[in-house]
Amino acid sequence: MKTAGLVSLAEIEDASRRLEGVAVRTPLDRSRALSLDASGPVFVKCENLQRTGSFKIRGGYNRLSRLPESVKERGVVAASAGNHAQGVALAASLLGIRSTVYMPENASIPKIEATKRYGAEVVLTGDQLADSIAVALEASERDGTEFISPFDHPAIIAGQGTIGLEILDSLDEIGTVVVPIGGGGLISGVGAAIKSVRPAVRMVGVQAAGAASIPRCLELGRVVPAEHVSTIADGIAVKSPSELTLEHIRTFVDEVVTVGDDALARAVVFAAERMKLVLEPSGAAGVAALLQDEHTMVPPVVVLLSGGNIDPLLLLRIIRFGMSSEGRYFAFSTRISDRPGALHRLVGLVADSGANLVGVQHHREGFGVHLEEVEVALQIETKGRPHIDELMATLAAEGYVVERL
Protein backbone atom coordinates (compact mmCIF):
# COMPACT_ATOMS: atom_id res chain seq x y z
CA MET A 1 0.00 0.00 0.00
CA LYS A 2 1.25 3.46 -0.88
CA THR A 3 1.41 6.08 1.86
CA ALA A 4 0.04 9.44 0.66
CA GLY A 5 2.78 11.52 -0.93
CA LEU A 6 5.36 8.73 -0.96
CA VAL A 7 6.59 6.89 -4.03
CA SER A 8 5.42 3.28 -4.03
CA LEU A 9 7.29 0.10 -4.82
CA ALA A 10 4.97 -0.37 -7.83
CA GLU A 11 6.06 3.01 -9.24
CA ILE A 12 9.72 2.06 -8.84
CA GLU A 13 9.12 -1.29 -10.52
CA ASP A 14 7.39 0.50 -13.41
CA ALA A 15 10.38 2.84 -13.71
CA SER A 16 12.66 -0.20 -13.86
CA ARG A 17 10.74 -1.53 -16.84
CA ARG A 18 10.96 1.84 -18.60
CA LEU A 19 14.71 1.96 -18.05
CA GLU A 20 15.42 -1.43 -19.62
CA GLY A 21 17.94 -0.86 -22.40
CA VAL A 22 18.50 2.72 -21.25
CA ALA A 23 20.18 2.56 -17.85
CA VAL A 24 23.04 0.14 -17.21
CA ARG A 25 22.65 -2.42 -14.44
CA THR A 26 25.78 -1.31 -12.62
CA PRO A 27 28.09 -3.71 -10.74
CA LEU A 28 27.59 -4.49 -7.07
CA ASP A 29 30.97 -5.77 -5.94
CA ARG A 30 32.54 -6.63 -2.62
CA SER A 31 35.29 -4.16 -1.74
CA ARG A 32 38.21 -5.90 -0.05
CA ALA A 33 39.75 -2.55 0.90
CA LEU A 34 36.61 -1.22 2.60
CA SER A 35 35.80 -4.59 4.16
CA LEU A 36 39.20 -4.71 5.84
CA ASP A 37 38.85 -1.15 7.08
CA ALA A 38 35.30 -1.72 8.34
CA SER A 39 36.01 -5.17 9.84
CA GLY A 40 33.00 -6.60 8.02
CA PRO A 41 31.72 -7.23 4.49
CA VAL A 42 31.25 -4.05 2.44
CA PHE A 43 29.83 -3.95 -1.06
CA VAL A 44 29.90 -1.00 -3.47
CA LYS A 45 27.17 -0.17 -5.99
CA CYS A 46 29.08 1.46 -8.84
CA GLU A 47 26.81 4.13 -10.30
CA ASN A 48 30.00 5.95 -11.31
CA LEU A 49 30.00 3.37 -14.14
CA GLN A 50 26.46 4.32 -15.19
CA ARG A 51 25.78 6.11 -18.49
CA THR A 52 26.80 9.78 -18.15
CA GLY A 53 28.95 8.78 -15.16
CA SER A 54 26.23 9.00 -12.49
CA PHE A 55 22.81 7.70 -11.47
CA LYS A 56 20.98 10.72 -12.90
CA ILE A 57 19.95 9.09 -16.19
CA ARG A 58 17.60 6.85 -14.21
CA GLY A 59 15.38 9.58 -12.81
CA GLY A 60 15.81 11.86 -15.81
CA TYR A 61 14.67 9.28 -18.34
CA ASN A 62 11.78 8.05 -16.18
CA ARG A 63 10.53 11.62 -15.79
CA LEU A 64 10.89 12.66 -19.43
CA SER A 65 9.43 9.45 -20.83
CA ARG A 66 6.16 10.16 -19.01
CA LEU A 67 5.65 13.67 -20.40
CA PRO A 68 2.62 14.21 -22.66
CA GLU A 69 3.50 14.59 -26.34
CA SER A 70 2.40 18.24 -26.30
CA VAL A 71 4.90 18.96 -23.54
CA LYS A 72 7.67 17.02 -25.28
CA GLU A 73 7.16 19.15 -28.38
CA ARG A 74 7.80 22.36 -26.42
CA GLY A 75 10.98 21.01 -24.88
CA VAL A 76 12.40 20.87 -21.36
CA VAL A 77 14.72 22.98 -19.21
CA ALA A 78 16.86 22.03 -16.24
CA ALA A 79 19.45 23.54 -13.94
CA SER A 80 22.44 21.66 -12.67
CA ALA A 81 26.11 21.84 -11.73
CA GLY A 82 26.74 18.83 -13.94
CA ASN A 83 25.36 15.34 -13.27
CA HIS A 84 21.65 16.14 -13.56
CA ALA A 85 22.52 18.23 -16.62
CA GLN A 86 24.05 15.24 -18.35
CA GLY A 87 21.24 12.91 -17.31
CA VAL A 88 18.57 15.23 -18.68
CA ALA A 89 20.55 15.93 -21.85
CA LEU A 90 20.97 12.23 -22.68
CA ALA A 91 17.40 11.31 -21.72
CA ALA A 92 16.03 14.14 -23.87
CA SER A 93 18.19 13.10 -26.82
CA LEU A 94 17.06 9.48 -26.56
CA LEU A 95 13.43 10.62 -26.54
CA GLY A 96 13.81 13.24 -29.28
CA ILE A 97 13.10 16.17 -26.93
CA ARG A 98 14.83 19.55 -27.17
CA SER A 99 16.60 20.42 -23.90
CA THR A 100 18.19 23.53 -22.44
CA VAL A 101 20.31 23.28 -19.33
CA TYR A 102 21.28 26.25 -17.14
CA MET A 103 24.58 25.80 -15.33
CA PRO A 104 26.59 28.05 -12.97
CA GLU A 105 29.36 30.00 -14.68
CA ASN A 106 31.93 28.22 -12.50
CA ALA A 107 30.66 24.73 -13.42
CA SER A 108 33.27 22.14 -14.30
CA ILE A 109 34.38 22.47 -17.92
CA PRO A 110 34.29 18.69 -18.54
CA LYS A 111 30.69 18.57 -17.25
CA ILE A 112 29.69 21.52 -19.45
CA GLU A 113 31.23 19.94 -22.54
CA ALA A 114 29.72 16.52 -21.76
CA THR A 115 26.26 18.08 -21.41
CA LYS A 116 26.64 19.67 -24.83
CA ARG A 117 27.80 16.39 -26.35
CA TYR A 118 24.69 14.66 -25.01
CA GLY A 119 22.63 17.11 -27.03
CA ALA A 120 21.54 19.93 -24.71
CA GLU A 121 21.90 23.64 -25.24
CA VAL A 122 23.92 24.93 -22.28
CA VAL A 123 23.42 28.39 -20.80
CA LEU A 124 25.92 29.54 -18.18
CA THR A 125 24.42 31.89 -15.63
CA GLY A 126 25.04 32.93 -12.01
CA ASP A 127 27.68 32.08 -9.45
CA GLN A 128 25.64 29.48 -7.56
CA LEU A 129 23.33 26.65 -8.57
CA ALA A 130 20.45 28.56 -6.94
CA ASP A 131 21.00 31.36 -9.48
CA SER A 132 20.86 28.91 -12.37
CA ILE A 133 17.66 27.36 -11.00
CA ALA A 134 16.00 30.78 -10.75
CA VAL A 135 16.83 31.61 -14.38
CA ALA A 136 15.71 28.16 -15.56
CA LEU A 137 12.35 28.56 -13.80
CA GLU A 138 11.89 31.99 -15.41
CA ALA A 139 12.65 30.51 -18.84
CA SER A 140 10.21 27.66 -18.23
CA GLU A 141 7.45 30.10 -17.31
CA ARG A 142 8.23 32.39 -20.22
CA ASP A 143 8.56 29.75 -22.94
CA GLY A 144 6.07 27.16 -21.72
CA THR A 145 8.73 24.48 -21.40
CA GLU A 146 8.77 21.83 -18.67
CA PHE A 147 11.21 22.38 -15.79
CA ILE A 148 12.90 19.12 -14.78
CA SER A 149 13.87 19.24 -11.11
CA PRO A 150 16.88 17.16 -10.09
CA PHE A 151 14.95 15.65 -7.16
CA ASP A 152 11.54 17.20 -6.49
CA HIS A 153 9.24 14.91 -8.47
CA PRO A 154 7.84 11.40 -7.88
CA ALA A 155 9.06 10.15 -11.27
CA ILE A 156 12.60 11.33 -10.52
CA ILE A 157 12.51 9.57 -7.15
CA ALA A 158 11.06 6.39 -8.65
CA GLY A 159 13.78 6.32 -11.31
CA GLN A 160 16.54 6.64 -8.73
CA GLY A 161 14.78 3.96 -6.68
CA THR A 162 15.59 1.38 -9.35
CA ILE A 163 19.09 1.24 -7.82
CA GLY A 164 17.46 -0.12 -4.66
CA LEU A 165 15.74 -2.86 -6.64
CA GLU A 166 19.08 -3.91 -8.14
CA ILE A 167 20.69 -4.02 -4.70
CA LEU A 168 17.85 -6.18 -3.36
CA ASP A 169 18.10 -8.49 -6.34
CA SER A 170 21.87 -8.91 -5.89
CA LEU A 171 22.19 -9.53 -2.14
CA ASP A 172 20.23 -11.87 0.10
CA GLU A 173 21.56 -10.26 3.26
CA ILE A 174 21.89 -6.49 3.78
CA GLY A 175 22.54 -4.72 7.07
CA THR A 176 23.08 -1.10 6.02
CA VAL A 177 22.81 0.91 2.82
CA VAL A 178 24.81 4.16 2.71
CA VAL A 179 23.70 6.83 0.22
CA PRO A 180 24.91 10.39 -0.49
CA ILE A 181 22.32 13.15 -0.05
CA GLY A 182 22.05 16.44 -1.90
CA GLY A 183 18.42 17.35 -2.51
CA GLY A 184 17.36 13.89 -1.39
CA GLY A 185 15.95 12.34 -4.56
CA LEU A 186 18.44 9.47 -4.62
CA ILE A 187 18.04 8.34 -1.02
CA SER A 188 14.27 8.87 -1.24
CA GLY A 189 13.98 6.40 -4.09
CA VAL A 190 16.54 3.90 -2.81
CA GLY A 191 15.06 4.08 0.69
CA ALA A 192 11.52 3.55 -0.61
CA ALA A 193 12.61 0.47 -2.58
CA ILE A 194 14.73 -1.09 0.15
CA LYS A 195 12.37 -0.45 3.07
CA SER A 196 9.31 -1.63 1.12
CA VAL A 197 10.87 -5.08 0.76
CA ARG A 198 13.22 -5.35 3.76
CA PRO A 199 12.19 -2.84 6.43
CA ALA A 200 14.89 -3.99 8.86
CA VAL A 201 17.70 -2.74 6.60
CA ARG A 202 19.35 0.36 8.06
CA MET A 203 19.37 3.37 5.68
CA VAL A 204 22.14 5.92 6.31
CA GLY A 205 22.37 9.19 4.38
CA VAL A 206 25.56 11.21 4.02
CA GLN A 207 25.74 14.96 3.52
CA ALA A 208 28.74 17.21 3.00
CA ALA A 209 29.29 19.23 6.17
CA GLY A 210 29.33 22.41 4.09
CA ALA A 211 25.85 21.68 2.72
CA ALA A 212 24.19 19.80 5.57
CA SER A 213 20.67 21.17 5.81
CA ILE A 214 18.82 17.91 6.39
CA PRO A 215 19.71 17.27 10.06
CA ARG A 216 18.23 20.65 10.96
CA CYS A 217 15.21 20.08 8.70
CA LEU A 218 14.55 16.79 10.49
CA GLU A 219 15.00 18.42 13.88
CA LEU A 220 12.53 21.23 13.10
CA GLY A 221 10.14 19.08 11.06
CA ARG A 222 10.14 21.38 8.03
CA VAL A 223 12.30 22.49 5.11
CA VAL A 224 14.90 25.00 6.31
CA PRO A 225 17.42 26.04 3.62
CA ALA A 226 21.06 26.32 4.61
CA GLU A 227 22.23 29.92 4.68
CA HIS A 228 25.49 29.10 2.95
CA VAL A 229 26.79 26.17 0.92
CA SER A 230 30.50 25.53 0.54
CA THR A 231 31.94 22.11 -0.33
CA ILE A 232 34.12 20.42 -2.92
CA ALA A 233 31.23 17.98 -3.46
CA ASP A 234 29.31 19.98 -6.06
CA GLY A 235 27.04 17.01 -6.79
CA ILE A 236 25.44 17.30 -3.33
CA ALA A 237 25.92 21.05 -2.79
CA VAL A 238 22.20 21.74 -2.35
CA LYS A 239 20.74 24.25 0.10
CA SER A 240 17.77 22.12 1.13
CA PRO A 241 15.62 19.12 0.31
CA SER A 242 12.08 19.62 -0.99
CA GLU A 243 8.96 18.92 1.05
CA LEU A 244 8.60 15.72 -0.98
CA THR A 245 12.11 14.40 -0.39
CA LEU A 246 12.13 15.46 3.25
CA GLU A 247 9.00 13.37 3.82
CA HIS A 248 10.70 10.37 2.20
CA ILE A 249 13.82 10.88 4.30
CA ARG A 250 11.76 11.17 7.47
CA THR A 251 9.98 7.91 6.59
CA PHE A 252 12.75 5.73 5.17
CA VAL A 253 16.11 6.98 6.50
CA ASP A 254 17.41 5.87 9.89
CA GLU A 255 20.35 8.25 10.23
CA VAL A 256 21.91 11.21 8.42
CA VAL A 257 25.62 11.84 8.97
CA THR A 258 27.97 14.55 7.71
CA VAL A 259 31.50 14.44 6.34
CA GLY A 260 33.90 17.35 5.87
CA ASP A 261 35.84 18.20 2.74
CA ASP A 262 39.00 16.69 4.22
CA ALA A 263 37.22 13.35 4.65
CA LEU A 264 35.76 13.58 1.13
CA ALA A 265 39.20 14.22 -0.34
CA ARG A 266 40.71 11.28 1.53
CA ALA A 267 37.84 9.08 0.32
CA VAL A 268 38.48 10.05 -3.32
CA VAL A 269 42.16 9.14 -2.89
CA PHE A 270 41.26 5.89 -1.08
CA ALA A 271 38.91 4.90 -3.89
CA ALA A 272 41.50 5.62 -6.57
CA GLU A 273 44.40 3.91 -4.80
CA ARG A 274 42.78 1.04 -2.94
CA MET A 275 39.56 0.39 -4.87
CA LYS A 276 40.82 1.31 -8.38
CA LEU A 277 37.77 3.53 -8.95
CA VAL A 278 37.58 7.18 -10.00
CA LEU A 279 34.94 9.01 -7.97
CA GLU A 280 33.88 12.63 -7.65
CA PRO A 281 33.69 13.94 -4.06
CA SER A 282 29.91 13.51 -3.87
CA GLY A 283 30.23 9.99 -5.23
CA ALA A 284 32.74 9.19 -2.49
CA ALA A 285 30.59 10.55 0.37
CA GLY A 286 29.55 7.07 1.51
CA VAL A 287 33.17 5.91 1.50
CA ALA A 288 34.11 8.95 3.60
CA ALA A 289 31.40 8.13 6.14
CA LEU A 290 32.53 4.54 6.40
CA LEU A 291 36.18 5.52 6.84
CA GLN A 292 35.24 7.94 9.64
CA ASP A 293 34.09 4.94 11.68
CA GLU A 294 31.95 7.13 13.91
CA HIS A 295 28.52 5.75 13.10
CA THR A 296 26.59 2.50 13.35
CA MET A 297 26.99 0.56 10.10
CA VAL A 298 25.44 -2.87 10.56
CA PRO A 299 27.14 -5.35 8.19
CA PRO A 300 26.88 -6.34 5.43
CA VAL A 301 27.14 -2.71 4.28
CA VAL A 302 26.32 -1.46 0.78
CA VAL A 303 27.90 1.87 -0.15
CA LEU A 304 26.34 3.63 -3.13
CA LEU A 305 29.00 5.31 -5.28
CA SER A 306 26.78 7.88 -6.95
CA GLY A 307 29.10 9.39 -9.56
CA GLY A 308 32.55 9.65 -11.09
CA ASN A 309 32.42 12.91 -13.04
CA ILE A 310 35.39 14.74 -11.56
CA ASP A 311 37.34 17.54 -13.22
CA PRO A 312 40.91 16.24 -13.74
CA LEU A 313 42.32 19.46 -12.24
CA LEU A 314 40.26 18.97 -9.08
CA LEU A 315 41.33 15.32 -8.99
CA LEU A 316 44.98 16.38 -9.07
CA ARG A 317 44.45 18.83 -6.21
CA ILE A 318 42.55 16.27 -4.17
CA ILE A 319 45.19 13.59 -4.72
CA ARG A 320 47.89 15.98 -3.56
CA PHE A 321 45.83 17.01 -0.55
CA GLY A 322 45.01 13.42 0.31
CA MET A 323 48.63 12.37 0.07
CA SER A 324 49.62 15.29 2.30
CA SER A 325 47.04 14.41 4.94
CA GLU A 326 48.30 10.83 4.98
CA GLY A 327 51.94 11.91 5.23
CA ARG A 328 52.77 10.66 1.73
CA TYR A 329 53.48 14.10 0.32
CA PHE A 330 55.22 16.88 2.23
CA ALA A 331 56.21 20.47 1.45
CA PHE A 332 58.49 22.64 3.55
CA SER A 333 60.70 25.69 3.30
CA THR A 334 64.04 26.55 4.83
CA ARG A 335 66.94 28.92 4.27
CA ILE A 336 70.41 28.07 3.05
CA SER A 337 73.52 30.13 2.46
CA ASP A 338 73.90 31.60 -1.02
CA ARG A 339 77.05 29.62 -1.76
CA PRO A 340 77.94 26.82 -4.18
CA GLY A 341 77.01 23.40 -2.85
CA ALA A 342 74.51 24.59 -0.22
CA LEU A 343 71.47 23.35 -2.13
CA HIS A 344 73.29 20.12 -3.01
CA ARG A 345 73.90 19.47 0.69
CA LEU A 346 70.22 20.01 1.59
CA VAL A 347 68.98 17.82 -1.24
CA GLY A 348 71.48 15.16 -0.26
CA LEU A 349 70.06 14.99 3.26
CA VAL A 350 66.57 14.55 1.81
CA ALA A 351 67.80 11.79 -0.50
CA ASP A 352 69.71 10.02 2.29
CA SER A 353 66.49 9.91 4.33
CA GLY A 354 64.78 7.88 1.60
CA ALA A 355 62.42 10.68 0.51
CA ASN A 356 61.88 11.47 -3.16
CA LEU A 357 62.27 15.08 -4.28
CA VAL A 358 59.54 16.16 -6.72
CA GLY A 359 59.85 19.95 -6.74
CA VAL A 360 62.15 22.80 -5.73
CA GLN A 361 61.60 26.56 -5.61
CA HIS A 362 64.57 28.85 -5.11
CA HIS A 363 64.10 32.50 -3.96
CA ARG A 364 66.88 35.01 -3.37
CA GLU A 365 64.54 37.92 -2.62
CA GLY A 366 61.71 38.00 -0.10
CA PHE A 367 60.56 39.24 3.27
CA GLY A 368 63.15 38.48 5.92
CA VAL A 369 65.64 36.88 3.51
CA HIS A 370 69.14 38.17 4.22
CA LEU A 371 71.59 39.22 1.54
CA GLU A 372 73.65 36.03 1.74
CA GLU A 373 70.67 33.70 2.17
CA VAL A 374 68.38 31.84 -0.19
CA GLU A 375 64.90 30.65 0.70
CA VAL A 376 64.18 27.17 -0.66
CA ALA A 377 60.83 25.38 -0.81
CA LEU A 378 60.88 21.63 -1.40
CA GLN A 379 58.09 19.21 -2.26
CA ILE A 380 58.88 15.59 -1.46
CA GLU A 381 57.24 12.17 -1.48
CA THR A 382 57.52 10.40 1.86
CA LYS A 383 56.56 7.09 3.46
CA GLY A 384 54.22 8.46 6.11
CA ARG A 385 54.17 10.76 9.12
CA PRO A 386 56.94 8.95 11.07
CA HIS A 387 59.18 9.34 8.03
CA ILE A 388 58.45 13.09 7.93
CA ASP A 389 59.21 13.45 11.64
CA GLU A 390 62.48 11.59 11.16
CA LEU A 391 63.50 13.87 8.27
CA MET A 392 62.58 17.01 10.22
CA ALA A 393 64.68 15.83 13.15
CA THR A 394 67.64 15.19 10.84
CA LEU A 395 67.38 18.66 9.26
CA ALA A 396 67.08 20.33 12.66
CA ALA A 397 70.18 18.48 13.88
CA GLU A 398 72.05 19.81 10.83
CA GLY A 399 71.06 23.40 11.71
CA TYR A 400 68.17 23.97 9.31
CA VAL A 401 65.12 25.92 10.49
CA VAL A 402 62.17 24.25 8.74
CA GLU A 403 58.70 25.62 8.16
CA ARG A 404 55.96 23.25 7.04
CA LEU A 405 53.97 24.52 4.05
160 shares its domain with 271: yes
User: Using one digit for the tens of pLDDT, what is the confidence trace for 285-339?
Assistant: 999 999 987 667 899 999 999 999 998 888 988 888 877 777 788 889 998 888 8
Q: Is residue 2 one of the residues assigned to a domain?
A: no
Q: Name the pTM for this structure.
A: 0.86
Catalytic residue (one of 45, 56, 111, 195): 56
Which of 99, 122, 147 marks a domain boundary?
A: 147
69 shares its domain with 40: no
List of residues 6+ apart from 341 with CB closer than 8 A: none
pLDDT at 117: 95
> Has 2 been annotated as catalytic?
no
226 shares its domain with 314: yes
Q: Is residue 28 one of the residues assigned to a domain?
A: yes
Cβ atoms of 161 and 12 within 8 Å: the answer is: yes
250 shares its domain with 263: yes
Q: Is residue 249 one of the residues assigned to a domain?
A: yes
Q: Is residue 258 one of the residues assigned to a domain?
A: yes
Q: Any idea which of 174-188, 193-207, 367-381 has the lowest mean pLDDT?
A: 367-381
Which of 147, 180, 211 marks a domain boundary?
A: 147
167 shares its domain with 200: yes
Q: Report the CATH number at residue 340.
A: 3.30.70.260
Q: Residue 282 is part of which domain span?
A: 9-54+153-321
User: Using one digit for the tens of pLDDT, what is the confidence trace for 222-280?
Assistant: 999 888 888 999 889 888 999 999 999 999 999 999 999 999 999 999 999 999 999 99
> Has 80 been annotated as catalytic?
no
161 shares its domain with 43: yes
Number of folded domains that form the chain: 3
Give me the half-sphere count of Cα atoms (radius 13 Å) on the Cβ side of residue 384: 1
Q: Is residue 247 one of the residues assigned to a domain?
A: yes
Q: Report the CATH number at residue 240.
A: 3.40.50.1100
197 shares its domain with 336: no
Q: Is residue 3 one of the residues assigned to a domain?
A: no
130 shares its domain with 162: no
Bond into 300 cis (ω within 30): yes
* Mean pLDDT comparison of 178-192, 214-228, 367-381, highest-scoring range: 178-192
pLDDT at 15: 98
Which of 117, 147, 177 marks a domain boundary?
A: 147
Q: Is residue 1 one of the residues assigned to a domain?
A: no
Between CA 12 and CA 189 the distance in angstroms is 8
382 shares its domain with 312: no
188 shares its domain with 303: yes
Cβ atoms of 102 and 132 within 8 Å: the answer is: yes
179 shares its domain with 140: no
Nearest to 288 by CA among 310, 266, 311, 307: 266
246 shares its domain with 393: no
Nearest to 90 by CA among 73, 111, 108, 71: 111
User: Using one digit for the tens of pLDDT, what is the confidence trace for 76-132?
Assistant: 999 998 899 999 999 999 999 999 999 999 888 888 999 999 999 999 998 878 889
Q: Is residue 4 one of the residues assigned to a domain?
A: no
User: Using one digit for the tens of pLDDT, what is the confidence trace for 170-194?
Assistant: 999 999 999 999 999 999 999 999 9
Q: Annotate the chain with three-state secondary structure.
A: CCCCCCCCHHHHHHHHHHCCCCCCCCCEEECHHHHHHHCCCEEEEEHHHCHHHECHHHHHHHHHHCCCHHHHHHCEEEECCCHHHHHHHHHHHHHCCCEEEEECCCCCHHHHHHHHHCCCEEEECCCCHHHHHHHHHHHHHHHCCEECCCCCCHHHHHHHHHHHHHHHHHCCCCCEEEEECCCCHHHHHHHHHHHHHCCCCEEEEEEEHHHCCHHHHHHHCCCCCCCCCCCCCHHHCCCCCCHHHHHHHHHHCCEEEEECHHHHHHHHHHHHHHHCCCCCCCCCHHHHHHHHCCCCCCCCEEEEECECCCCHHHHHHHHHHHHHHCCCEEEEEEEEECCCCHHHHHHHHHHHCCCEEEEEEEECCCCCCCCCEEEEEEEEECCCHHHHHHHHHHHHHCCCCCEEC
